[in-house]
Chains A and B, each alone.
Chain A
Amino acid sequence: MSATAIKIDDPNVFHLEEEPHHEEGSSTMLGFWLYLMSDCLIFAMLFAVFGVVGGNYAAGPGPKELFDLELVAVNTAMLLFSSITYGFAMLAMDKNKTRQTLIWLAVTGLFGLAFLGIELYEFAHLIHEGATPQRSAFLSAFFTLVGTHGLHVTFGIIWLVTLMVQVSWKGLIPANKRRLMCLSMFWHFLDVIWIGVFTFVYLLGMVR
């Protein structure tokens, strides 16, 4: 819109004469952050459910009989390691080192897989002992909350592999950097959620 198109005596002009130029994808990060915040609300609801019915064992097993804190500690370490290795991938990306970025992403993925493996082992162990989601309200809430987090990690790993393929094909182009930054936020966000899970579900479950 050129300035000459606007009449000087026209009192009602509600737009700028020249729209500021926005780079492609310049609002992606903010949009993704807003998605994460809405995801945060989903987890908040699941935490609320667990907080309300987490003590209803229906005469079934409680946290003290079920949880193995050493396993949870190992799991927490896996997720924490994956967080810092993803950080290293981002640092390598900043220096435009494609190969190094890919290696760190692969390490992150392996830690993520280890986390998932341990979690699935724990779930299988619980179900084997008869502590199924149907057993009590506590177990329903537990499996929903921890399972939703695990599902997020699963999708995060799928996303990670997808991006590794993309980066190895096209290199660290701006679009790929943007995608890696989004996944970075997603991945660290999942670690934040896990802090809540191991604190409120496992640790406080043991001292309840």
Chain B
Amino acid sequence: MSADKNDHSPESHDTDHLGHEGHNHGSFKSYLIGFVLSVILTAIPFWLVMTGVLPTQATALIVMAFAVVQIVVHMIYFLHMNSKSEGGWTMLALIFTIIVVVIALSGSLWVMYHLNTNMMPSTHDMSQMSS
């Protein structure tokens, strides 16, 4: 694959057109695989929530797990992420972003949850606030 060779020495392939510089656009097959997987990974959570066949907690966990898997599927089959494109810099940027996102999300939820539970006004305060 020319795309792989390009990654380490992009300047050595002057004649190669831009479309193949560290980026492969996948094939018809890979897009189809990604699409079918996405449909399955979307349909099951919707079906679970709409029918409510499982207990609430189990449904929530499965729905979240399916979302994570589907995001990975999209990254691989639609965004063509791999550890080699652009000499690994796209993957590095992605990992950095994921770390920041996880810290920001978990931090916000954690801190604000405790703030909520510890500073929850008593019923007396509530009635004062609403009046």
Contact = CB atoms under 8 A, between A and B. Distances in A.
Q: Range of interface residues on chain B? A: 35 or more
Given A80-B38, A199-B64, A204-B64, A23 B10 contact: yes
A181 B25 CA distance: 9
Interface in B57-75: 59-60, 63-64, 66-67, 70-71, 74-75
Contacts of B19: 93-94, 174, 177, 181
B79 A189 contact: yes
Contacts of B11: 20-23
Contacts of B101: 40-41, 44
Contacts of B26: 87, 90-91
Interface of B: 10-11, 14, 17-19, 21-23, 25-28, 31-32, 34-35, 38-39, 42, 45-46, 49-50, 52, 56, 59-60, 63-64, 66-67, 70-71, 74-75, 78-79, 86, 89-90, 93-94, 96-97, 100-101, 104-105, 108-109, 112
14 contacts: A26-B10, A41-B100, A48-B105, A51-B105, A76-B42, A76-B46, A80-B38, A84-B32, A188-B74, A195-B70, A199-B67, A200-B67, A203-B45, A206-B49
Interface of A: 20-23, 25-26, 29-30, 33-34, 37, 40-41, 44-45, 47-49, 51-52, 69-70, 72-73, 76-77, 80, 83-84, 87-88, 90-91, 93-94, 174, 177-178, 181, 184-185, 188-189, 191-192, 195-196, 198-200, 203-204, 206-207
